[in-house]
Structure 1
């Protein structure tokens, strides 16, 4: 029996059916989308999301690769420029090392008189060639090179410039050399080539030796000098003639006879025991370039009670071949130019 307080719920009543013509459209209640394409339009193809990511990554990689490729091209171009400069500098050093002054001068012009190739060919030439460093800045460059001259290491800096896309060295290793001769006229010969006196010539780095020249009375040459290739340190070559042994012995004999003749005369300034030292060291006062005469002085030492220094001037007269013809003698205590024939 049901409880008196319990009441059965009323049965649910179904809503009345709408007529067919009043049924809501299928898309009723949807929000209107102004961007929606009209019904019946063809839908645009869409790339899958995976392809979109891949395409994005490829674009990023290509964008990153472009600067790297440009840098690689620039590095390759710079390396080619450095190699071109190295090759040019080594070719220049090689020309000097091979004694080819003409080729070296054609590569890098010099300012001054350059003797022919035979002069450089006769020298101890540079060796141990090396291009150490190349520095490029726009159209100018610096090349540090190394070589040895006479076993001494030399490091030089060469400048270069780019002209019409070609590198040219502008710093020459040729160096000014000035020849100083005793008479200011007589030159020095290297490998048979005369270098004029008191004038500068330009020589490439190397160790040179002047030719030895000997006449019946004089000998000269044989001087060794070094050119290090530094234009800021020009070299000087001093050439001093020396008397041959035959000339010295003949001059001592003439001076001895002259002193003996003086001692037989009254008023002779020499003491009775004055004598010419048998190995007297003569020195040259002058050489006349016009006629070849040679003025020398024979030292006699200290003579007289006051210990006065005495010397006897002599002049050797020579022929065109430089052979001795006669002697002129000076008087003790008189000027050197006061000369007369020595007599028998």
Structure 2
């Protein structure tokens, strides 16, 4: 054993100057139990032997941290692909939980708890919180933790306005000829919505998203659709909050009207059907706010009741 210890000392001496160790302060993470700078012995050999002791302490610390991480993974309630970047996975998972209202407005979430749930360290959770804060889904309060934001009515209306502007142009491109080869695909997605309509509201929303995404992909605007996704998170929270209130069959009929316009090459008709469809939320929003007041930022002077639909857009 002593021979192995001496051999390690010799190998360390090739790459580490023990005299330099005397002039540096050890990291608290790997602090040894002896008095400060006790390793500064009278001989180079003595200092090197103490360096080996510190090296062993560091390895033991890292092994314990690794053991704790493995325990976290074994007890995690959400799976994370350890071969892929962790931060984006945690952000996507938390974003979905907030949008589905599994994590509710004003609910406090902590880095340590989320890290334990996903079996990861706190650093990717911290990164996820920052990204979610940029998206307006959480508020990070120094020294007080992180809380889920309430749904902002202004953000819902802005997202809907932007989405309508983008998708109206996409619909015109499809009706002007670019959608001719995709009509069967669109109608197949509408059939999937019909199958899910009465049995699985969450699956209906997935099928609804797939329909709108397919329209964007068909004209080479898939990248733009992904940008829209990040803008409409508050709008999506409203959709999940009102799963039982949205007139699902009516929405499906509106999708069918959009596709009929595309199939007929009627750009004006398809655009009108699309705009009418995306304004449906404006009619439902006041009732949703009144029945779920704890989910929304306070509106000013009943502003949510003042939304009216005009031929060219919306106003307050």
State TM-score, norm by structure 2.
0.26
Task: Pick the structure with greater CA Rg.
Answer: 1
Q: Which has the higher helix share?
A: 2
Higher relative contact order (Cα pairs below 8 Å, separated by 6+ residues): 2
Q: Which has the higher strand share?
A: 1
